[in-house]
Amino acid sequence: MKFETLAIIGVGLIGGSIGLAAKRRGVANRVIGAGRQRSTLDRAQALGAIDEGTLDHVEAAAQADLAVYCTPVDHIAGQILSAAPRCRPGSILTDAGSTKLAIVRAIEGRLPDGISFVGGHPLAGSEKRGSEYAHPDLFQGRVTVVTQTPATERAALERVAGFWRALGAKVRVMDPEEHDRSLAVTSHLPHLIAAALAGALSPELFELTAGGFRDTTRIAAGDPALWTGIFAQNGAAVLDALHAFTGRLAEFQKALEGGDLHALDRFLAQAKKVRDALGS
């Protein structure tokens, strides 16, 4: 899998890691980064994540045979639709956004002939931001979801899947709805919970926290604007996941109020079984 020119729109933790991995693994001859601040681009270039940087994301995509959008989920579709008319025939556009349905729906059927879009989402990253946290092995052995709908072009899907495999990722193809429903449970709900827990902590209790509280709330340090966009785009699935979660809390509450120690133990034992199966 080889691309002549790879454009990365948004060179933060994910975009920077894509650049480092693509260059390290010889997946692209040339990597152009696009961003809104020259300092960000200079840092990414100094780190070796991109060969050159531009403040004009349309210009970057226009030069590329593959453009990967690593910008906030509420910017991706707009950026792609504005760049597509300038792209060369045969160009493929993809993204790394944490939601898929809203993005895919906004783009499908609105691209010029010869330009393809395939949605993507690498399940990697952290609460950290910026290319200074980028790593060429960030995707190694991790799942990247690539979306498929009836409108998805088979050849473009294969190219995008091959791109992620070349970066070390395990590719899972699924439809955007399934992605969003799944990620509501595995990512968006945990973020909401971590935020609800962290936000309620009064300062006098800070020193009475230990590793458990810190682990459980770590992702609440993520960027609020990014996450507001994710919640807004996946609201219905998040509300469903939240409903199921509060149902489980109510189940525990009932056992605790009733002094049903066997039920508490079963609840905790079942959770431990799942968590142990998940690995560290």
Q: Which residues, 113 to 172, sit near its own copies by CB under 8 A?
A: 123-127, 142-143, 145, 170, 172
Stretch that binds its own copies, among 3-11, 50-58, 104-112, 237-245 (CB under 8 A): 237-245
When asked if residue 93 is in the footprint of its own copies (CB under 8 A), the reply is no
Give the nearer residue to its own copies in terms of CB position, either 39 or 280. 280
When asked if residue 62 is in the footprint of its own copies (CB under 8 A), the reply is no
Q: Shortest Cβ distance from residue 84 to its own copies (Å)?
A: 27
d(Cα 85, Cα 62) in Å, to the nearest integer?
A: 9
When asked if residue 224 is in the footprint of its own copies (CB under 8 A), the reply is yes
Residue 15 in contact with residue 130, Cβ under 8 Å? no
When asked if residue 270 is in the footprint of its own copies (CB under 8 A), the reply is yes
Among 6, 83, 118, 183, binds its own copies (CB under 8 A): 183
CB atoms within 10 A of CB 175: 17
User: For the window 191-220, what string marks contact with its own copies as x by the rule CB under 8 A?
Assistant: xxxxxxxxxxx-x-xxxxxxxxxxxxxxxx
Q: Number of residues interacting with its own copies: please give it, by CB under 8 A.
A: 83
Kindly state the tokens that stand for 215: 């682990």
Which residue stretches of 29-100 are H helix?
A: 38-46, 57-62, 73-83
Give the nearer residue to its own copies in terms of CB position, either 112 or 130. 130
Helix (H, G, I), strand (E, B) or coil at 8: strand
d(Cα 231, Cα 241) in Å, to the nearest integer?
A: 12
Kindly state the tokens that stand for 180: 């969003």
Give the nearer residue to its own copies in terms of CB position, either 55 or 271. 271
d(Cα 139, Cα 166) in Å, to the nearest integer?
A: 10
